[in-house]
Structure 1
Amino acid sequence: MPHCLLVPFLLLGTVVLPVSAQDGERPNRRGGFGGPIVLAEDDVAFYQAPPQGFKTEREDIPHGKLEMVEYESKTVGTKRKMQVYTPPGYSADKKYPVLYLLHGIGGDETEWQRFANVNVMLDNLIADRKAVPMIVVMPNGRAQKNDRAEGNVFASAPSFATFEKDLLDDVIPAIDAKYSVEADAEHRALAGLSMGGGQTLNFGLTHLDTFAWIGAFSSAPNTKPAKELVSDVDALKKHAKLIVLTCGNKDGLINISQRMHKFLQENEVEHVWHVDEHAHDPQHWSNSLYWFAQNIFQDQPAAQDAAAKN
C-alpha cells in the first residue's frame, strides 16, 4: 500500500465556498477550507487518471437504462425520488449487485449523473469488460420532506445523518423489491463524494452486514472519528472486501481522509489510499468512481492485487 499556494475557492458538492488564505511558509502547505493542507510522503496517486472519453457516449455498444424511481419513505413520511441505472441487457432472470452512490451537501439524486455521466461511464466499462454488470442507485441523501438543495443548504446537514435510517429501512428494501438483486453485503457497495463520502464511512463502516465495498471520495467534516466508526478492527478486516479513500492534494478537507487513512494503516486494515492533483471537484469524483466501479463485486479486485505488490 503506498504508504506557497492559495486555493481561491472550494466546491462542496455543488456549493462554492470561499476559503481563507494561508501565507504558506512550507512548500507542502496550502490554504483551504478546513485548515492548511499538509501532505505526507504517502499522499500520492495509487492509480492512473482515466483515459480520454471514459464518460463519453459510444454509439457502437449496448446501453443501459437510467430512470427516476419513487419510493415510500417511512423515515421521512413522504414519497421520495432516486435515480437508478440498470445495465445493458438487464433481465429479471439474473441477479445483480448494487452500488449506492451518495451526493454532496449541495446536490441531490441528480448530482452524480451531472458530474460523472454515470450511465455512460458504466456502459463503457461493462462493454470493455472492465466492470461487472451492476445496478447503480443514486438516492437523495437529504432525508427531509423538502429535500431540494435550496436556500441555506448547510441548515439541512442533520438530515444527512437521518438518511442512514432512510437508506437502510426504505431505499434498500425498495430496490430489493423492484429489481432483481443479490440482496446481501457481498453484493452491495456504498460510495459517495464530500458529504456523501462522510455518509459512506459513517454508514458503511458501522453496517458491514449490509455493505462490503466502501468508497469515500473527498470526505467532508460530517465524517465521524475512526475510533467511533470501527469498534472491532478484526470484524472490519474480515467483512470488508474493499475500502477506498481518495482526495485531491489541493483539497482543504484532505485532513479528514488523512486521519481515516492513518487509523486504518496503524491498525493494519488493508485499503486503497489515493491522492491526486485535484481539488474538491467533479473531475476527482468522476476519476474515483471510474476506478472504484472496476474493482467491486469481483473475487479478486485489481485493487487488492496492486496493494499486495506495494
Structure 2
Amino acid sequence: MKASTYGFESYNERSDFNNMKGEINFSVFESLSRSWIPFFVYLPPNWSKEEDYPLVLFMHGQGGDESTFNKYVNAAQLNQWILDGEIEPVVIAGIRGDNDRDHVQWFTAENEKLIVGEQRGEFIAYCQKNFKAGTLPNSISIEGHSRGAAGAIHYYLKYPGKFVSVVGMGYVSDYTLAANKQLALENLDALKDRDVPLRLEIGTEDSFVKTKNRRCIFDLHDFLSEHDIAHEFEVLHGVEHRFDYFWNFYTDDGILNGLRHLQFHENARKKEK
C-alpha cells in the first residue's frame, strides 16, 4: 500500500527490509499515539534478521524531519566505519517529531509513547520487531540536535537508565531548562546510581548563543556538576548551530565527531555488559 494513502506522497510502507542494507531509507509506520509516522532507518551493510543490533535513536531539531540525518550523514561512510572495525554494526533510526516542523517537541505525551511507553515505546517496538535493533538489554542510545537535544536530555533525566547513553548537540532551548532541572532533582539518586554516559556539545559560533544569549547548555552543565551528575561537556571551536557542523567536526584526534559519537555509544554498551 502506498504511503500517499496516509498523506506522505514520497514514501511507501515497507514490510521487507532486506534490500535496505548499507543504506539510509525512508518509510512510514502506524502508531496508536500519532497515527502514521514517517521515519528513516540506516541498516549496517551485513544486516541480517538473524542477528541482534544496538539501536541509536536520532532526534532532529526544529524545522527538521526524518530526512535531516540523511542530508548530512553519508551511508557509505557509516558502512566503511563498520567494515573497517571502527564501530560495531549498528542500526540508526529516527521519526518525524511532528508534522508541524516548527513546533516539534519530543517530550509531548504522544512522542513519549513512541519513545518509552509503559514498557517500551511504539517506535522502539517497531525497530525491535523489524530491524532486530535494541532487543538486547542496554543496547538503545539517544542522540539529538537542538530541540532534539532538548528531547534527548528530557529522556535522560526523566527515565534514568532507560537508555544506555545520550548525546545532546546544540541544546539552546532555554524554556526547557527549569523543567529539566526539576526532573534531575526528582531523580537525583537514580541518575547517580545508573551513571548513564551523557555528552553535551555546543559550538563557539552557535548563533542562538551569540545573538540571543541562549545559554541553557552552560547552565545545565553547571547544574549537573553542582549535583555530582557525571557527564561530558565540550565547546567545539568554529562550530555553528547546524547538525552537520557537529557531525562533521574533526576532533583533536583527527576523527569525525560523528564517529566519536558512535564510539561513545558503543563504549557505553560495552561498559554495561
In the alignment, the residues of structure 2 paired with residue 293 and residue 65 of structure 1 have an alpha-carbon distance, to the nearest angstrom, of: 17
Equivalent residue for 2:193? Answer: 238
Equivalent residue for 1:227? Answer: 181
In the alignment, the residues of structure 2 paired with residue 185 and residue 100 of structure 1 have an alpha-carbon distance, to the nearest angstrom, of: 15
Q: SS of 2:215's equivalent?
A: helix
Report the TM-score, using the length of structure 1 for normalisation: 0.67
Aligned length: 229
Q: CA deviation at 1:232?
A: 2.5
Equivalent residue for 1:291? Answer: 260
Superposition pairs of residues 56-75 of structure 1, within 5 angstroms: 64-75=22-33
Q: SS of 2:148's equivalent?
A: helix
Q: SS of 1:265's equivalent?
A: helix
Equivalent residue for 2:112? Answer: 164
Q: CA deviation at 1:148?
A: 5.5
Superposition pairs of residues 10-89 of structure 1, within 5 angstroms: 64-76=22-34, 78-89=35-46
Within the candidate set 209, 213, 217, 2:169 is matched to: 217
RMSD: 2.4
Whether 2:129 is the aligned partner of 1:177: answer: yes
| Deviations 1:201-227, CA, capped at 9 Å, x for gaps | 112321234212100000131534342
Deviant stretches of 4+, over 6 Å: none
Whether 2:81 is the aligned partner of 1:120: answer: no
Q: Which one is further off, 173-182 or 220-229? A: 220-229
User: Contact conserved, 1:201 with 1:223, CA < 8 A, in 2?
Assistant: no
In the alignment, the residues of structure 1 paired with residue 22 and residue 157 of structure 2 have an alpha-carbon distance, to the nearest angstrom, of: 30
In the alignment, the residues of structure 2 paired with residue 187 and residue 129 of structure 1 have an alpha-carbon distance, to the nearest angstrom, of: 18
Pair 220,160 (structure 1): closer, same or farther in 2 beyond 3 Å: farther
Report the TM-score, using the length of structure 2 for normalisation: 0.75
Whether 2:149 is the aligned partner of 1:207: answer: no
Pair 266,165 (structure 1): closer, same or farther in 2 beyond 3 Å: same
Whether 2:92 is the aligned partner of 1:140: answer: no
In the alignment, the residues of structure 2 paired with residue 101 and residue 158 of structure 1 have an alpha-carbon distance, to the nearest angstrom, of: 14
User: Contact conserved, 2:25 with 2:42, CA < 8 A, in 1?
Assistant: yes
Percent same amino acid at aligned positions?
21
Q: Which has the higher contact order (CA 8 A, sep 6+)?
A: 1
Gaps of 5+ in 1: 1-62, 303-310
Amino acid at match of 1:268: D
Equivalent residue for 1:15? Answer: none
When Rg is computed on C-alpha atoms for both structures, the one with the higher figure is: 1
Amino acid at match of 2:140: R
In the alignment, the residues of structure 1 paired with residue 42 and residue 191 of structure 2 have an alpha-carbon distance, to the nearest angstrom, of: 29
Pair 107,182 (structure 1): closer, same or farther in 2 beyond 3 Å: closer
User: Contact conserved, 2:164 with 2:269, CA < 8 A, in 1?
Assistant: no
Amino acid at match of 1:132: E
